[in-house]
Structure 1
Amino acid sequence: MITLSLLHPLHKTPVQSWSFEQEAVVRIGRSTDNNVVLYSAVVSRHHVEIYRTDPGWVVKSIGTNGTYLEGRRITEVPVEDGIVIRLARSGPNIQIHMTEEKRDPLKELLNRRRVEESQEIDQSTRHEPPANDKAALPHQTTIINH
């Protein structure tokens, strides 16, 4: 999951946040077709894309006024948890947090046991006799009338 927080311009504290779990690309800009819409004159209609890659997330600047990280203009950078990007030189600051789904070893063990138990039950209800086991075959009775 990725969470974006709009920071207060003076206090640098979050004033609004957006979280995304399923999206492969999160778009930020002034246009209403973005995932995060920011109404600021210095923010481009389509300003930033944050997209998922195999190793992690990447921030890509696509706006005309630029995107800044630690005072330097960027075009594309990997996301590190907690980074703050600025949209344009004097625009809003966005902090990015990434949270991975935490693994719960106990939950994984219980799920594995449930699967194994259901497989055992499924196998025990089949009762298919082995091919060469005559004792397992049903007895055939022949009735002879005299």
Structure 2
Amino acid sequence: MITLALLHPTQLVPIQHWSFESKSLIHIGRASDNDVIIYSAVVSRHHAELWQNSSGWMMMNFGANGIYVDDEPIIQTSVVDNMIIRLGISGPKLQIHTKELASKFAKQIDGLSRKEIDTVNVFDRNEYMDEDLTQTDFD
């Protein structure tokens, strides 16, 4: 079993997940024919593939913006349980679980997905309230 979780961009909590019990080839990308569909401008239509072989899971990059593991670009790599990949240098992050813990993780994600995550107000609302901002603040 393998589970992929899309992580929130600032809070690093899972906001969506996909679990695969019997698939040995998984396609990731923006196009509707992928197993994992992620709508992001930096994600290619067919961005990556994961496949299982006798020694575990492997991952291959096909995306124009690349795949990054620990901020290092990769072309092909072995998948390690609990690893986090980024699609593109500034794109969405996926956490990959390959162990039997994946089913337990999927249940936890289901519980988290029912909770409201504030994605709009990342900054403290009062942080900029008392200041008059000018164009020079943004240059």
Q: Give the structure-1-normalised TM-score.
A: 0.67
- Residue 48 (structure 2) pairs with residue 45 (structure 1): no
Q: Distance in 2 between matches of 1:100 and 1:83?
A: 15
Q: Distance in 2 between matches of 1:72 and 1:85?
A: 10
**Aligned twin of 1:132:** none
Q: Distance in 2 between matches of 1:53 and 1:78?
A: 10
User: Any runs of at least 4 consecutive aligned residues in structure 1 with deviations exceeding 6 A, and if so which?
Assistant: none
Amino acid in structure 2 at the alignment position of 1:36? V
**Aligned twin of 1:81:** 81
Q: Distance in 2 between matches of 1:2 and 1:22?
A: 9
- Residue 6 (structure 2) pairs with residue 6 (structure 1): yes
Q: Distance in 1 between matches of 2:63 and 2:21?
A: 24
Q: Distance in 2 between matches of 1:13 and 1:50?
A: 22
Secondary structure at the counterpart of residue 26 of structure 1 = strand
Deviation at 1:100, TM superposition (A): 4.1
- Map 1:60-75 onto structure 2 (within 5 A): 60-75=60-75
Q: Distance in 1 between matches of 2:30 and 2:100?
A: 29
Q: Distance in 2 between matches of 1:100 and 1:54?
A: 17
Secondary structure at the counterpart of residue 73 of structure 1 = strand
Amino acid in structure 2 at the alignment position of 1:68? Y
Q: Give the structure-2-normalised TM-score.
A: 0.71
**Aligned twin of 2:23:** 23
Q: Distance in 2 between matches of 1:51 and 1:67?
A: 16
Deviations along 1:32-81, whole A, 9 cap, x unmatched? 00001011011000001011010100111111110000000000110110
Secondary structure at the counterpart of residue 32 of structure 1 = coil
Q: Distance in 1 between matches of 2:8 and 2:49?
A: 21
Between Structure 1 and Structure 2, whose CA radius of gyration is higher?
1
The structure whose RCO (Cα within 8 Å, separation 6+) is larger is 2
5+ unaligned residues in a row in structure 1: which ranges?
102-146
Deviation at 1:24, TM superposition (A): 1.1
Between Structure 1 and Structure 2, how many residues are aligned?
101
Q: Distance in 2 between matches of 1:95 and 1:59?
A: 13
Q: Distance in 1 between matches of 2:100 and 2:19?
A: 13
Deviation at 1:99, TM superposition (A): 2.0
5+ unaligned residues in a row in structure 2: which ranges?
102-139
Secondary structure at the counterpart of residue 94 of structure 1 = strand
